[in-house]
Structure 1
Amino acid sequence: MVNQLQGMNVSQERAAKSYNGYVMLLAMLAAIVFFIWTVANGAPPDGASKAAKLMFVGSLLVGIIPFLLIVGGFFMIQPNQTAVITLFGAYSGTERTEGLRWVWPWMMRKKISARAHNVHSEKVKINDLRGNPIEVACNVVWRVRDTAQAAFDVDDYKEFVEIQIEAGLRTVGARHPYDDMNEEDETTLRGSADVVNRELCEELNERLQVAGIVVDEAGLTHLAYAPEIAGAMLRRQQADAVIAARKKVVIGAVGMVEDALQKLSADGVIELDDERRAAMVSNLMVVLCGDREAHPVVNAGTLYQ
């Protein structure tokens, strides 16, 4: 971001000098009363001298001009709202005081909201770290921190935010794989939501610093494989799930067989040689790991016949 700011005059917010609008409202009412009194009591009679008529016109202007100056300078500031004030194109300051305020009418006022904004981005198609096409979308909560930068350092700060959200989402999405295909302990978009959301928030804050905007919260709201590979990836995930389930079943079955053999030997129920032990282990593993119900076969002879 430092490289992006080189060669550009960076603005910085400062407090504006404005006046209490209610005091100026009383002054405007006083000007109106003076104007009415002048019209009612100061009108020159017919045949009055030219000097008297000029004096009457001057009295009217004394009431009209202050009224016009005062009425054009009122503006209202709501909670969490600001007004950027400029004088003939030069930045004069930002007013954040709530209520009725007043400045000279030739000073321009541009209101900028300091409230939190919520943006839900469109789905963006990108390639993850392994080159797989995926679709992602995010939700971002942002607000204006420096009104001078938002007003003068970018052309349209709201459009700037939307473009940078998409750019930041593409950058963060390309840093990590969608899923951990190799069963390694690495950051993935699907399994490391906290890490990815934190990186996205940091990326957006860095990009939006030039516009005086801070991101309070950012997180992925949509994550899926692109339609062209979604079917193949679903079958892979199903296969991974079956393998993981089989592995767990086999590990459990081995423990159960080991416990059964130790129990039989400890209680002296039966003495098994190596061949019979192998046969029993084989039968128990088939029963415990098989997908179908086991059908025992009664052996009327011995294992040695």
Structure 2
Amino acid sequence: MLQNIEQKEIHPINGMIMLVVITIGLILSVGLIILGSILLEQNNSVLGGIILAIGIILVVIFPIMYGGLKIVGPNEALVLTLFGNYYGTILKPGYYYVNPFVSYNNPIFNKAYINRNKIENNDKTTVIPDITPKKTVSLKSITLNNGTQKVNDVLGNPIIIGAVVIWKVTDPTKAVFNVDNYAEFLSIQTDSTIRNIARKYPYDDLDCEDENMNEKTLRSSSLEIANDMKDELIKRVQIAGLDIEEVRITHLAYAEEIAAAMLQRQQASAIIAARQKIVDGAVGMVKMAIDKLGEEEVVVLDEERKATMVSNLLVVLCSNKDTQPVVNSGSIY
């Protein structure tokens, strides 16, 4: 069962003050050892032995205390544990002194250390995280480019889609303790979210043969669909203390196996649309010509001649090549 750990901000002692105190204490402890040795040489064994023992103990203690000095940079946090228990989180930048026995916790740093060891052992399959490994947890905005992946849209057409995610850590305690590696966790959830959202929509209107299908398409409504991805991803990574600032689709195309066929389909649809527009315009022009001739009584045509005229005008107007006029020198009848 996942243990819910609430973030506890701590305000440690100023590190510069403790650095001076520890250094002076170390110097004094060395002086005590020297003083105890002198007293022992003067046959003052009791006092000399006590002072010498105290000096030796302090020489051992003060160097250990140096381990409590910690540096936290701007927009960084340091999550600490003490003997396996959560100790606290330092959220403000500065130079601090904490319990020297506390240990830092950052899965990104630990993962990078393991990966470096594996790479030294010629393990070529290991991937180092994109985040710079540090002992502190970065609170800065970070860009995740997860590359592209092949998914099927709502009509089953294979497409290649890629997205970029702008994110940051808002709760470093949850990021450290609730998931094993929050960067890898985000990457996996991003892949899953892109796949789940992309399969709900068609690539474009050419595939929407059902009139009741959602009007949104991946190509024409990329901004709205990216917002849907952002909303779903926020819910998925909330447990890890992450905040998603922005999601944008960076790559969208048909898969290679159907790209040529879909291009032909798009060209065919464009040709059909153009022909429809040409025919509509030609019919309107023919109707206008016949009506104009009838209204002004320029020539009176019977139904057969009107049909012939309509046929000839439609051929001239709808043809995709220049027509060659033929002059009739005889009677039209």
What is the TM-score of this pair, normalised by structure 2?
0.79
* 33 and 227 in structure 1: CA distance in 2 versus 1, 3 angstrom threshold: same
Return the match for 2:275 from 246, 268, 271.
246
* Bigger relative contact order, structure 1 or 2 (CA pairs below 8 A, ≥6 apart): 1
Equivalent in the alignment of 1:169: 194
Given that 2:31 and 2:55 are in contact with CA atoms closer than 8 Å, whether structure 1 keeps it comes out as: no
Equivalent in the alignment of 2:28: 34
**Is the counterpart of residue 197 in structure 1 residue 191 in structure 2?**
no
Equivalent in the alignment of 2:118: none
Which shifted more, 33-42 or 107-116? Answer: 33-42
SS at match of 1:60: helix
* 260 and 27 in structure 1: CA distance in 2 versus 1, 3 angstrom threshold: farther
Equivalent in the alignment of 1:76: 71
Cα deviation for residue 144 of structure 1 reads: 1.1
Which shifted more, 253-262 or 202-211? Answer: 253-262
Return the match for 1:15 from 9, 14, 25.
9
Cα deviation for residue 217 of structure 1 reads: 1.2
Cα deviation for residue 64 of structure 1 reads: 2.8
Return the match for 1:24 from 18, 25, 48.
18
Return the match for 1:286 from 315, 326, 332.
315
Cα deviation for residue 258 of structure 1 reads: 5.0
Q: Which deviations, in whole Å up to 9, do the C-alpha atoms of 1:77-116 show, x marking residues without a partner? A: 1111110011111112211111211101011123211112
SS at match of 2:38: coil
**Is the counterpart of residue 234 in structure 1 residue 251 in structure 2?**
no
SS at match of 2:220: coil
Q: Which deviations, in whole Å up to 9, do the C-alpha atoms of 1:247-290 show, x marking residues without a partner? A: 22233334444555666677x48345464555444433333321
Cα deviation for residue 137 of structure 1 reads: 1.7
Whole-Å separation in 2 of the counterparts to 1:295 and 1:240: 30
SS at match of 1:30: helix
Given that 1:116 and 1:143 are in contact with CA atoms closer than 8 Å, whether structure 2 keeps it comes out as: yes
Cα deviation for residue 121 of structure 1 reads: 1.5
Equivalent in the alignment of 2:298: 270
Equivalent in the alignment of 2:170: 145
Structure 1 residue identity aligned to 2:244? V
Given that 2:36 and 2:47 are in contact with CA atoms closer than 8 Å, whether structure 1 keeps it comes out as: no
Cα deviation for residue 167 of structure 1 reads: 1.0
Equivalent in the alignment of 1:182: 208
Whole-Å separation in 1 of the counterparts to 2:308 and 2:95: 93
Structure 1 residue identity aligned to 2:139? A
SS at match of 1:123: strand
Query: Mind listing any 5+ residue stretches in structure 1 that lack a counterpart?
Result: 1-6
Equivalent in the alignment of 1:98: 93
Given that 2:11 and 2:90 are in contact with CA atoms closer than 8 Å, whether structure 1 keeps it comes out as: yes
Return the match for 1:209 from 229, 238, 252.
238
What is the TM-score of this pair, normalised by structure 1?
0.86
SS at match of 2:147: coil
Cα deviation for residue 21 of structure 1 reads: 1.3
* 297 and 84 in structure 1: CA distance in 2 versus 1, 3 angstrom threshold: same
Given that 1:135 and 1:226 are in contact with CA atoms closer than 8 Å, whether structure 2 keeps it comes out as: yes
* 101 and 270 in structure 1: CA distance in 2 versus 1, 3 angstrom threshold: farther
Which shifted more, 168-177 or 35-44? Answer: 35-44
Cα deviation for residue 62 of structure 1 reads: 7.0
Cα deviation for residue 202 of structure 1 reads: 1.2
Cα deviation for residue 25 of structure 1 reads: 2.0
Which shifted more, 245-254 or 229-238? Answer: 245-254
Equivalent in the alignment of 2:324: 295
Given that 2:77 and 2:138 are in contact with CA atoms closer than 8 Å, whether structure 1 keeps it comes out as: yes
Structure 2 residue identity aligned to 1:100? Y
Which shifted more, 80-89 or 130-139? Answer: 130-139
Cα deviation for residue 35 of structure 1 reads: 3.9
Structure 1 residue identity aligned to 2:317? L
SS at match of 1:91: strand
